[in-house]
Structure 1
Amino acid sequence: MATIEFLLNGTPTQCHVPPDTSILTLLRDHLGMTGTKEGCASGDCGACTVAIKGNNDPHFASINGCITPAHQLHGQHLLTVEGLAANGELHPAQRAMVECHGSQCGFCTPGIVMSLFTLHTQQQTHPAPLTPERLEAALGGNLCRCTGYRPIRDAALSMQEVPWNAPQWIDACQPTQTLLSAPQSNTNDIDLFAQPSTLSELTELRRRYPSARLVAGGTDLWLESTQRLAVLNQLIDVTRVEELGRIEESPFNEQPGWWVGAGVTYSQLEPLFAANYPAFAHLLHRLGSQQVRNRGTLGGNIANASPIGDTPPVLLALNAWVELANQDGTRTLPLSDFFLDYKKTALAADEVVSQIFIPRMAEDATLKVWKLSKRREDDISAVLGAFHYRLVDGVLSDVRIAFGGMAGVPKRALKAEAALTGQPVTRESFQAAQRSLADEFQPMSDVRGSQHYRQQAAANLFERLYLSLSAPTQEVMLHAYAH
């Protein structure tokens, strides 16, 4: 077992737990702090929400304790619902929930309060209007089965009016010397939790332990522990690798764009996407919850190779490249060559995904991204379509179309692209693109949609694009900020 040293509600804490211990298990089973609840154990309901802050972070961020490895707390500051009240005074989020009658059975309330706490701290440092979009982003990952959401929304809107003096310890940091001894148990090949800080250290560990699992956000990997009861006793944590956390603007193959480290989270990507890929930024609003976006990484979504991952189809439509690294160096390949088969990729046993290159879009290019799922937020795609094109003098060019949920891998619709390239915006050209889908895609049937549904839904997205281009000043569908 490795030693974890962190701050818990301002108090230095040290623990020894197995590698596959979650923050939730650490709190409830090892530390006896039962304010944080377990609901779904899959990162969906938010009952386990806690707040975490690193030494270089501007403020606390909400995360799901049930699917976050406890060892990633090393050198961090963890705040739970037990730590919010100070000197006998409730935190404004707690007081507002009481005054607005936002709690009934109380099971989900601690998680909601922690999400409100992180929203409150953001408002304290960067005041901004609490729009419906911001409230939905902050609370979309917290489910309540008793109250309905109106009183919780009222609490969010009123908590800024409550005076509050932050305790001094709330901005405390772990001593620097603690960070120099990251948890690593490499003397026992059975139990391993390693936390490298450089890409060289990471690739050396990858070569030494080829069967160890890489963990970043854990938003998918940890479900193997909580849902399938698998033992994750060999873990290599990539969240402290400095090279994997960079976003750098730099050309590649004479094409301008950005290199995005594989460890960059969705939340960290929001400013880049909002400024350069608005449709991609809108998709992030529907990618999991705020808790998931604070933890999930772009590299993890790619390396996971799920056919229903949200970002790969968009990256395929943008003609993205991926860099793979091992101890001998790096190699790059188009993302379209990375996905080989269901859950199979071009990664060698000793390689890791290190960076993703996202080309800058041409000024006259357009990107459309449409996600179909049962819920608008915090849900997995049934079908996701990404459409990149240029429209010059009424003729389509530079057409790249990709789908998720339509095959065993995220996949380009090459025949549909060919049917539209060089063609005017006519019903005939789009019908030809729709017909080509049957030749290229044979989607599976599952709980999210039948094969017929997916085929029809993908064809309907072409119809939506056609109508959008035919009447650009009219709304094709009822407006929703997150599509």
Structure 2
Amino acid sequence: MRPTAEPPPVVPTAPITPNITRPIRFVHRGAVVALQGLESTTSVLTWLREHARCTGTKEGCNEGDCGACTVLVGTLQPGGAVAWKPINSCLQFLPTLDGKALLTVEDLGGNHPAQQAMVAHHGSQCGFCTPGFVMSLAACRQRQGDAVPTRQQIADALSGNLCRCTGYRPILDAGQQMFQQPAPALGHPGTAAALATLQADAPLHYAAATPFHAPRTLDDLATQIAAKPQARLLAGSTDIGLWVNKQFRALGELIHLGEVAELKAITATEGWLQIGAGASLEAAWAALATHWPAAREMGLRFASPSIRAAGTMGGNLANGSPIGDSAPVLIALGALIVLRHGAQQRTMALQDFYLDYMVNQRAPGEFVQAVRLPLPAADELLRAYKLSKRHDCDISGLAAGLWLKRDGDRVADARFAFGGLAGIVKRAAGAEAAVRGQPWTAATVAAAMAALDADFQPLSDLRASAGYRQRAARNLLQRLWLETRADAPLPADQVSVWSPR
């Protein structure tokens, strides 16, 4: 029996942390910056260019696709080191920097191996995209340490950066050459010490036309959301940032989930993998790939490194786009979603969470706390497929999570979940029924492909036509069989136009 999907009752909660307004405080160029008087939806990019006069960071698309605005954000680790990650500064709101450090191309000073290699290999022509490429390369150099990446891995690290004149060959050459030099420490000498002084600050409550709250504990978060059910929940800002930049929407009061460490936890215990809703997409997909290696490619093709570093698994699921990449895979794996309202929790199958286009079961004052997945057994297999116009950093025209449980040469159970074929991510009930209890043969797959036509009536849009989606979905079932058949299964490089990375 599935857990109840009834909305929870409103329950008494602990007192809300007093909203003591204070400035936004972060480290820039080795010193603490304290800001107030700016709107909370001011982007990091706008502050850099218009207030700090750091104009090396560029505005290109203003929606997280081109990478010209890439900067690095640092957080203080338990051992005292600073961990840096790339983000799109055009999408991030200024208060999300509170307690962190900001690094731009000006801070590299011209001496970073990425900069020197770009010069040596003529990797810059008009130069507009160059700062973003340099920052992405610097992040790659820092992340890799002494492990020299392949050329494809460097391309993956640059998948969120676009160049329209130089071409990518010299930039990739520069990426390879920079590993011939030692990795310099990022940030100014006083960055770690300055960050340490910020750790004693109270949780941020920032008064503005759009009030901004950043609780630090799960209980405080639950209390604030229950008390302010009308507030907008902000996680990685990779979607909500577009609402401001492109739609000029007024957001109302914001509650930021990004400072709650408990929401970022990923654990595997007692047969279950639990991914906190605040875990970054990068961390979440890495955890999935650890247990289901077939999910690795989908994780690499999910947006770009800077989007995956900022965006969260919970945000992706709560947003509920029918062409999102996470839900098809997680539904195929039998995921449960954990919702919280005040002190109360409820759990339901992820497939039951979605009701209609952009409509889900989340009640007012409730938020996504985690997603739980049963760990795989030896007789189970998963395939995750994504079809899009661009290979990297693109929205899916069609995505699929295909899961089988086999009993010898027969299919004991199946879950086929598709995104892009309906108003929600949905399972193909007819196709699943066609394979259950049947031998895993070409005839069985043909029956499932035929049944799939009755499972969905897709629409045409700018990403794909209805006919393409229907035919492609059928072909993905065929691909699943070709890769997993008992007699001479085909390796991935023989059923796809790209070589596995």
Structure 2 counterpart of 1:291, which letter?
S
Task: Check conservation: 1:20, 1:233, Cα contact below 8 A.
Answer: no
1:474 maps to which residue? 490
Which of 379, 383, 388 aligns to 1:373? It is 388
Structure 2 counterpart of 1:15, which letter?
L
1:247 maps to which residue? 266
State the alpha-carbon separation in 2 of the partners of residues 430 and 173 from structure 1: 61
Superposition map of 1:62-211 within 5 A: 62-85=86-109, 90-123=111-144, 126-162=145-181, 166=185, 168-169=189-190, 171-185=192-206, 190-211=209-230
State the alpha-carbon separation in 1 of the partners of residues 468 and 179 from structure 2: 45
2:9 maps to which residue? none
Q: Give the 3-state SS of the residue equivalent to 1:323 in structure 2.
A: strand
Q: What fraction of aligned residue pairs are identical, expressed as a percent?
A: 41
Give deviations 1:213-269, integer Å, cap 9, x for gaps: 111111112111111111234211101112211112233xxxx11111100012222
Which structure 1 segments of 5+ residues have no match?
none
Which range is displaced more, 92-101 or 351-360? 92-101
State the alpha-carbon separation in 1 of the partners of residues 330 and 182 from structure 2: 45
2:56 maps to which residue? 35
**Residue 305 (1) aligns with residue 320 (2):** yes
Task: Check conservation: 2:417, 2:426, Cα contact below 8 A.
Answer: yes
Give deviations 1:315-346, integer Å, cap 9, x for gaps: 10000001100114111111111001110110
Structure 1 counterpart of 2:433, which letter?
A
State the alpha-carbon separation in 2 of the partners of residues 172 and 269 from structure 1: 30
Give deviations 1:408-443, integer Å, cap 9, x for gaps: 111111111111011112333222212222222121
State the alpha-carbon separation in 1 of the partners of residues 499 and 395 from structure 2: 18
Aligned-residue CA RMSD (Å): 1.9
Cα gap change, 1:92 to 1:468, in 2 (>3 Å): closer
Task: Check conservation: 1:76, 1:173, Cα contact below 8 A.
Answer: no
TM-score with structure 1 setting the length: 0.93
Structure 2 counterpart of 1:474, which letter?
L
Shift of 1:163: 5.5
Task: Check conservation: 1:313, 1:402, Cα contact below 8 A.
Answer: yes
State the alpha-carbon separation in 2 of the partners of residues 358 and 176 from structure 1: 39
Which of 83, 86, 107 aligns to 1:59? It is 83
State the alpha-carbon separation in 1 of the partners of residues 488 and 32 from structure 2: 58
TM-score with structure 2 setting the length: 0.90
State the alpha-carbon separation in 1 of the partners of residues 458 and 44 from structure 2: 37
Which range is displaced more, 266-275 or 284-293? 266-275
Shift of 1:386: 1.0
Q: Give the 3-state SS of the residue equivalent to 2:71 in structure 1.
A: strand
Shift of 1:477: 1.6
Give deviations 1:178-228, integer Å, cap 9, x for gaps: 552232136x7x531000111221122212322221111111121111111
Task: Check conservation: 2:141, 2:183, Cα contact below 8 A.
Answer: no
State the alpha-carbon separation in 2 of the partners of residues 403 and 165 from structure 1: 45
Superposition map of 1:392-471 within 5 A: 392-470=407-485, 471=487
1:13 maps to which residue? 33
State the alpha-carbon separation in 1 of the partners of residues 192 and 142 from structure 2: 11
Task: Check conservation: 1:369, 1:385, Cα contact below 8 A.
Answer: yes
Shift of 1:58: 5.3
Cα gap change, 1:393 to 1:348, in 2 (>3 Å): same
The structure 1 segments of at least 4 consecutive aligned residues displaced by more than 6 Å after TM superposition are none
Superposition map of 1:185-334 within 5 A: 185=206, 190-251=209-270, 256-334=271-349
Aligned length: 472
Structure 2 counterpart of 1:73, which letter?
L
State the alpha-carbon separation in 1 of the partners of residues 201 and 193 from structure 2: 18
State the alpha-carbon separation in 1 of the partners of residues 293 and 332 from structure 2: 14
Cα gap change, 1:381 to 1:36, in 2 (>3 Å): same
